[in-house]
């Protein structure tokens, strides 16, 4: 049987990868050909992404793929985190450096936006969870500061769209990434003019929307010549990394929820239509675009970010630990010593994550963690409680209760958190695939090029390609006993 090769570029907030996917005999093999760090650059106390560095690493990934013998790649595609964007001019020049969503310029923008457009009206149009990092509020901050970029730009392009532009010269906005912006009408899947008018945002900046599985263009000849590739299609996949990750969930049964676990934890279900009502607004649920015509009804929860920052902070003091070592210490630590609300604004980007946790414990009348194991266990237990509370709320919107949770992404390797999640929710947890975003990216490429029929077949292929691990509740009653305490702390 012939084989087909696809190249996925997955850009995360900490690192990026170039991964070749080989489709053969109803299985996909993944081969990482390039990995590189990604980090925020601080310039005059503003936080930016180094877009030219990221593009250069993308080109390096293409070069390494060719050097490793993958000269017959059928297509390539890019996915990234959501909400951030850059600008280009009419003559195809980059303008400035894209801001990073943790930048402080969006402080106070939610209240300003709600003064211009009522909160419920904004939510009823977009169905998007209110977070100050959302693109709409980033843009509003630029309008408020009379940012000159807005007057010079021809188009606003979200991060994967910007990289696609640098690959092809074409300016398009892929649907799933556009849906994270709080500028898209969730039901009509188009830019919502009422929002642009109310917030005084320039709607002419927005590019035409294309759906996952659309060919953007051929790879630009200058890149083909430089890296040694023939004409290659550049495909718009689920360009929001969570959209690709959810497309790869290998559960073909009903009544399942997903947790895409990484820097953020995204907890939700797939639906055919947006769920927008008083309760979804009350509980701050979001309706993001999915692959295959689906909606991802979910909550964004601060995920492994807090642990990543603790690890970085301790490392800066010469105390280097691997994630497995931190988990081992957490497993031996005293349980339920303290609980934090991982979504508290104090954890978004503090100078010291240790101090932020200590301050949260102080203001909630709890004892502070004393050891590194206690800090990590506190976070993992708090996340598991948060997952439980979100799942309970999702059940309010559906007829048949959730029976299984599929955890995908890098965080699915954390077996302690997986077990805590099963114990906290009382549900079976299926962990994997770890490389869900790459799998989902590649499956949509395979569908776009006619090698796979649809998402269901793609999920069957993924299920055949990976080893999944199950976790069954073992301390359900103990976690239930602690739930009321958690509810008093976690929003």
Question: What's the pLDDT at 230?
Answer: 85
**Regions in the chain scoring below 50 on pLDDT:** none
What are 158-185's pLDDT values in tens digits? 999 999 999 999 999 999 999 999 999 9
Question: What's the pLDDT at 2?
Answer: 82
Question: What's the pLDDT at 251?
Answer: 77
Q: Tokens for 305?
A: 């970010």
* Residues 293/265, Cβ–Cβ less than 8 Å: no
Question: What's the pLDDT at 254?
Answer: 78
Residue of 386, 403, 401, 451 lying closest to 251 (CA atoms)? 403
Question: What's the pLDDT at 14?
Answer: 86
- Give me the DSSP letters along 114-134: HHHS-HHHHHHHH-----TTS
Question: What's the pLDDT at 231?
Answer: 87
Cα dist from 2 to 75, 102, 308, 378, 450, whole Å: 16, 46, 42, 50, 14
What phi and psi values does residue 70 have, to the nearest 5 degrees? -90, 70
> Which are the contacts of 98, defined by CB distance < 8 A and separation ≥ 6?
48, 49, 51, 84, 85, 86, 159, 162
> How far apart (Å, rounded) are the C-alpha atoms in residues 335 and 354?
19
As to burial, measured by CB atoms within 10 angstroms (0-12 exposed, 13-18 middle, 19+ buried), residue 27 is: middle
| Beta bridge partners of residue 404, listed in sequence order | 256, 428
Query: What domains are defined for the chain?
Result: 4-241 (3.30.420.40), 249-432+453-491 (3.30.420.40)
Question: Could you confirm whether 72 is annotated as catalytic?
Answer: no
Write out the H or E segment, with its range, that includes residue 407: strand 404-408
As to burial, measured by CB atoms within 10 angstroms (0-12 exposed, 13-18 middle, 19+ buried), residue 331 is: middle
Helix, strand or coil, per DSSP, at residue 374: helix
Q: 241, 341, 344, 423: which is the annotated catalytic residue?
A: 241
Residue of 230, 227, 231 lying closest to 215 (CA atoms)? 231
- Give me the DSSP letters along 320-353: ---HHHHHHHHHHSPTTS----TT-GGGSS-S-H
> How far apart (Å, rounded) are the C-alpha atoms in residues 62 and 215?
18
What are 400-459's pLDDT values in tens digits? 999 999 999 999 999 999 999 999 999 999 999 999 999 999 999 999 999 999 999 999
């Amino acid at each position: 049987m012939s084989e087909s090769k696809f190249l996925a570029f997955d850009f995360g907030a900490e690192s990026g990868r170039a991964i070749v996917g080989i489709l053969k005999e109803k299985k996909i093999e993944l081969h990482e050909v390039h990995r590189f760090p990604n980090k925020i650059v601080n310039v005059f106390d503003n936080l930016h992404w180094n877009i030219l560095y990221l593009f250069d690493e993308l080109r390096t990934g293409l070069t390494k793929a060719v050097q490793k013998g993958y000269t017959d790649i059928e297509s390539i595609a890019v996915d990234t985190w959501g909400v951030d964007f850059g600008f280009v001019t009419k003559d195809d020049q980059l303008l400035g450096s894209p801001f990073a969503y943790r930048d402080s310029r969006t402080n106070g923008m939610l209240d300003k936006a709600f003064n211009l457009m009522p909160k419920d009206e904004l939510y009823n149009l977009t169905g998007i969870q209110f977070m100050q990092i959302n693109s709409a509020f980033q843009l509003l901050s630029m309008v408020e500061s009379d940012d000159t970029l807005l007057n010079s730009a021809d188009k606003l392009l979200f991060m994967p769209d910007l990289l696609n532009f640098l690959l092809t010269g074409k300016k398009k906005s892929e649907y799933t990434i556009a849906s994270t912006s709080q500028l898209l009408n969730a039901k009509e899947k188009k830019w919502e003019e009422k929002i642009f008018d109310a917030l005084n945002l320039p709607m002419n900046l927005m590019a035409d929307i294309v759906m996952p599985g659309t060919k953007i263009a051929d790879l630009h000849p200058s890149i083909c010549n430089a890296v040694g590739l023939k004409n290659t299609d550049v495909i718009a996949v689920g360009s929001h990394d969570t959209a690709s990750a959810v497309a790869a969930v290998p559960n073909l049964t009903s009544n399942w929820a997903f947790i895409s676990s990484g820097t953020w934890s995204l907890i939700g279900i797939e639906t055919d239509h947006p769920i927008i009502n008083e309760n979804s607004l009350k509980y701050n649920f979001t309706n993001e675009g999915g692959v295959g015509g689906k909606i991802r009804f979910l909550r964004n929860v601060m995920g492994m970010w807090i642990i990543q920052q603790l690890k970085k902070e301790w490392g800066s003091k010469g105390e280097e630990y691997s994630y497995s070592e931190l988990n081992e210490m957490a497993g031996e630590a005293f349980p339920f010593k303290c609980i934090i609300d991982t979504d508290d604004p104090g954890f978004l980007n503090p100078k010291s994550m240790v101090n932020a946790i200590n301050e949260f414990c102080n203001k909630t009348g709890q004892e502070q963690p004393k050891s590194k194991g206690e800090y990590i266990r506190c976070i993992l237990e708090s996340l598991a409680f948060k997952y439980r509370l979100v799942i309970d709320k999702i059940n309010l919107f559906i007829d048949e209760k959730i029976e299984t949770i599929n955890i995908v992404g890098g965080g699915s390797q954390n077996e302690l958190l997986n077990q805590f999640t099963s114990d906290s929710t009382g549900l079976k947890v299926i962990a994997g695939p770890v490389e869900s975003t790459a799998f989902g990216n590649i499956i949509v490429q395979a569908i776009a090029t006619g090698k796979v029929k649809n998402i269901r077949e793609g999920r069957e292929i993924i299920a055949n390609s990976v080893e999944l691990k199950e976790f069954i509740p073992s301390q359900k009653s103990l976690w239930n006993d602690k739930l009321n305490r958690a509810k008093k702390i976690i929003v």
